[in-house]
Chains A and B, each alone.
Chain A
Amino acid sequence: MNASIELKNVSKSFGKKTVLQEINLSIAEGQIYGLIGPSGSGKTTLVKMIVGIDAPDSGTVRVLDVKVPDLELLNEIGYMAQSDALYPELTGKENLDFFASLYPMKKSHMKKRIAYAADLVKLSGDLGKKVSAYSGGMKRRLSLAIALVHDPKILILDEPTVGIDPELRVAIWNELFHLKSEQQKTILITTHVMDEAEKCDQVAMVRDGAILASGTPAELKRHYGVNQLEEAFLKAGREQR
């Protein structure tokens, strides 16, 4: 399988603080890849570099065999930021319309995609409301719909299920599985919830700007001789020190 996302020796620091240190990462096409780690571990900086809105100090990032940043490449990336980047004065529909129209799409196709994305996150009935009247979970869902609206090959979701109720979370995960198996999408997801990490094909444990370990959840548990991914994470952290 080809690597859709590849990072080589990527380092980044803000001032004196090193945020990421010599990160090497290879994500195969058609996988759900999870980055797990506590907040402040550098997950968000890492995904921003893959999207191209943050630049590494050294090292290279390649997505779909194209060096990041690249404008054309952004057509193939759907990004959901950690904080909801929405226009509160506008309705959900207007937000979707706006972001969709930044991508090259035919009008009729755009309409279908908007309907599909809104339906996926169960917001079809609330699209006429202003986003300022949305709950936290609704905003999160709208952000996810926006990330999906242009039908990108790669989805990069930064903490997508924070503030979303369990039932909808299951629904979203089912849809992610569906996107992976039916449409061969590559999905990179960050999370600090261990049971979500279990659902990924591959996980990388991130801590203090470094990848402690990576592999399938089963491999990691076997390697550390534990039953829970959480324990594997803690063990890996202790070994590092």
Chain B
Amino acid sequence: MRIAALVRRIIKQMLRDKRTLALLFLAPLFVLTLMYFFFNGNTVQPELGTVNVPESLAMALEERGMIITSYGQATEETVIEEDLDGLLALESGRMTLTLLNDDPSLAKNLLAQVSQTVLLASGQTQPIPLEIAYIYGSSDTEFFDVLSPVLIGFFVFFFVFLISGIGLLKERVSGTLERLMATPIRKGELIAAYLIGFGIFAVIQTVIVVAFSITVLDVVLVGSVWHVLLINLLLALVALSLGILLSTFASSEFQMVQFIPIVVVPQIFFAGIFPVEGLADWLQAIGRIMPIYYAADALKAVMYKGQGFSEISGDLLALVIFASVFIVLNLVVLRRHRKL
């Protein structure tokens, strides 16, 4: 079986190249961890103002590492003037937490801490309902939680794109691709073997990145982990076929790297890290032709909003179409080497 022979060869080559393997598997974890620390930087102690809050609750909050300042009376202006991160007020049995929210990750952290403490302090008997108010922004502005699904998808895309592209490029530059064309191998078999060979490594990478994000980095995952894997695998397939395709238009590894700012970086902008809604219509339309846009949309839906398969099926279909188109184009460009 020719495909099997090719797949075995690709795997052997990859396993001999330890540094590339490390790049594929460890680099995403490294960068994700770095991002995690930056966006969840909790070295600053949040400053919380309190009005009419029971002493026991204030103590519990202080124990969690907050700086508590008690006020007789306070409004939103107080929060801004006193440079507080939030204000917790108890008025006629109603607990209100006003968050400054100039730094969404800090505000989110503060909210989680306060609501937990309030819940614990009120005991089993009757939890005091906590009302949340925001001075800037709203509850939607939670940064790393929105960012991390996008980042996971992006890293899967980026590294698979680069490594598969350079893999086929090496074959082209060294003359082995032409040599293969002098054997009775079919072009479809060659593409299939590349998709399978590198696909195996893409699957391993995807599993590692997703597992690491969820277990070690504690990224929010409301929906199903299987859906997350499915989305990433489809995205990896798109990256794989696009990487192989674009390697046709590069004549060296360096030229392959030059595709990064042209093909990869623009996709970050449309992936949902930055708000797309405010853009001009034609710019938004550009986002529609970017694979990461759909993957990020689906990943956010599953990981952050906890939506199910039916909500993401449109995005998945888009990824399947991307991959199919790229695979067909691959077969077309291989005609350069042999007509059959």
Interface residue ranges, A against B (CB under 8 Å):
51-53, 55, 69-72, 74-75, 77, 79, 81, 83-90, 94, 97-99, 101-103
Contacts and interface: CB of A to CB of B under 8 A. Distances in A.
10 contacts: A51-B182, A52-B181, A71-B340, A86-B176, A87-B176, A89-B16, A90-B13, A98-B8, A102-B5, A102-B180
A85 B5 CA distance: 17
B13 A89 contact: yes
Contacts of A89: 12-13, 16-17
Contacts of B183: 74, 99, 102-103
Contacts of A94: 9, 12
A55 B12 contact: no
B174 interface: yes
A89 B14 CA distance: 9
A51 B184 CA distance: 11
Interface in B121-170: none
Interface in B169-197: 174-176, 178-186
Given A70-B340, A72-B184, A102-B184, A79 B179 contact: yes
B185 A102 contact: yes
B64 interface: no
B13 A98 contact: no
Contacts of B180: 102
B338 A98 contact: no
Interface in B43-81: none
Contacts of B175: 81, 83-85
B12 A85 contact: no
A86 B170 CA distance: 11
B16 to A, nearest CB: 4
A87 B181 CA distance: 15
B9 A90 contact: yes
B339 A55 contact: yes
Contacts of B305: none
Residue of A69, A89, A97, A102 contacting most chain B CB atoms (<10 Å)? A102
Contacts of B6: 98
Given A77-B182, A98-B9, A103-B184, 18 more contacts: A51-B182, A52-B338, A53-B337, A53-B338, A71-B340, A81-B179, A83-B175, A86-B176, A88-B174, A89-B13, A90-B16, A94-B9, A97-B5, A98-B8, A101-B2, A101-B5, A102-B5, A103-B183
A102 B174 contact: no
B20 to A, nearest CB: 10
